[in-house]
Amino acid sequence: MYVIIFTILSLLVLPNNLFAWGSATHAYIAKQLCEEGSEPLLIYGSVIPDFFNQEHNSVYYDQIAKITHYKLEKIKKESNKRKLFEFSLGYLSHNEKWGADLTAHKKARTIYKKGYVAEKSNIIGSKIRTELEKNFANQGVLFPFILANALSSEIAHPLIEIAVDLEIKTYEDTSIGSDLISSAINRRDDLPDILVSAYAGDLSKKYKIPKTEVMDIIKNAENNFREAIIKYGVILNYDYDLTIDLLAKEGTDLINYFLESSSYKGCSITPEIMKKFINFAIDETKNDYQKEISETIKYLNKRREIKQLCKKIQKQR
């Protein structure tokens, strides 16, 4: 019982996002809305709702993840006030309330049980669990199935997202990596101010901390995220095999860092194992990801909020 409890508690320190996954897919979807193409403001807007993903151990993580994906009015108001309609369009396309993340996580357009990513991650989870249990058993881990089960649950979801990103980059839009790099490098200096204006006040009140402290939290996280997007875009620009190798190494390093910092010091996984997991995810999504993405784009283009922003963008020109 002690081992089980300690395992579950220790797993809470594992970052929920091993890669900047999903960014290429969000960017690709946004590019198809209003026929906007690779406008940097649009691209960066489509990925920035995840700006706090790398701060998973922060006490503010859950609240910031919630408001960036569900509380849309303030970000829309602050963006539109500056006439940054492309940024607003990208940002709103991402949300989990009715946007692309809804179809990924909760209500797919082509799978009728749950979200596309959620359903697919359940399918590959058992394969990952089997491989991890075998690996940890060979390393002498006590009750390896407990660690394997917990770890497979954490990584299956992001692996599906990264697989779709890879397929988007390979078969749909070979320039998506460059678009991500350009959007992050050239992001306007006042974009962090939009996040601050939209969210800092409420966070300051909720956690009873000075607004200046919240401003620093938001701006530092956004800057770290911006750097991660550039790195991810660079990785996606390599050829297919090298991209997978690099992503496998990134994921392996992060998981092994977690294991070394937990009660499982001394056990590890290899890049070869992580590469196998990525291929599990690719095999599971390769035949139907395109239809789900296409239907998601059609669905978003019919949303009143998207249509309104498209009209504003056209009028501005």
196-210 pLDDT, tens digit per residue, is: 999 999 999 999 999
1-47 pLDDT, tens digit per residue, is: 344 444 444 444 444 444 434 899 999 999 999 876 679 999 999 99
77-130 pLDDT, tens digit per residue, is: 999 999 999 999 999 999 999 999 999 999 999 987 789 999 999 999 999 999
Domain that holds residue 108: 2-316
Nearest Cα neighbor of 261 from 9, 3, 19, 4 is: 9
Q: Which residue has tokens 């001394």?
A: 266
Nearest Cα neighbor of 175 from 48, 62, 24, 286 is: 24
Q: What is the largest CA-CA distance in the chain?
A: 65
Domain count, the chain: 1
pTM for this model (two decimals): 0.92
Average per-residue pLDDT for the chain: 90
Burial pattern 241-266, b for ≥16 Cβ within 10 A else e, equals: eebbbbbbebbbebbbebbeebebee
* Mean pLDDT to the nearest integer, 210-224: 96
- DSSP label at 50? G
pLDDT of residue 230: 96
* Mean pLDDT to the nearest integer, 52-78: 91
Amino acid at 193: D
